[in-house]
Amino acid sequence: MTARVRKLALAVHITLSVGWIGAVAAYIALDVAAATGHEPQALRSAYLGMDHIARHVIVPLALASLLTGLIMSLGTSWGLIRHYWVVISFVLTLIAVGVLVAETRVIRSFADVAADPEASGADLRALGNTLPHSIGGTLVLLVVLVLNIYKPQGMTRYGRRTLRG
Q: Rounded to whole angstroms, how far apart are CA atoms 50 and 150?
A: 32
Q: Rounded to whole angstroms, how far apart are CA atoms 82 and 89?
A: 12
Q: Where are the domains of the chain?
A: 3-164
pLDDT per residue over 88-142, tens digit each?
A: 999 999 999 999 999 999 999 999 999 999 999 999 999 988 999 999 999 999 9
* Backbone torsion region of residue 128, taken as left when φ is above 0, otherwise alpha when ψ lies between -120 and 50, otherwise beta: left
- Residues 55-73 have a mean pLDDT of 97
pTM beyond 0.75: yes
Q: Which residues contact 140 (CB under 8 A, 6 or more apart)?
A: 92, 95, 96
Alpha-carbon 39 to chain mean position: 29
Q: Are 128 and 106 in contact (CB under 8 A)?
A: no
Instruction: Tell me the one-letter amino acid at 73.
Output: S
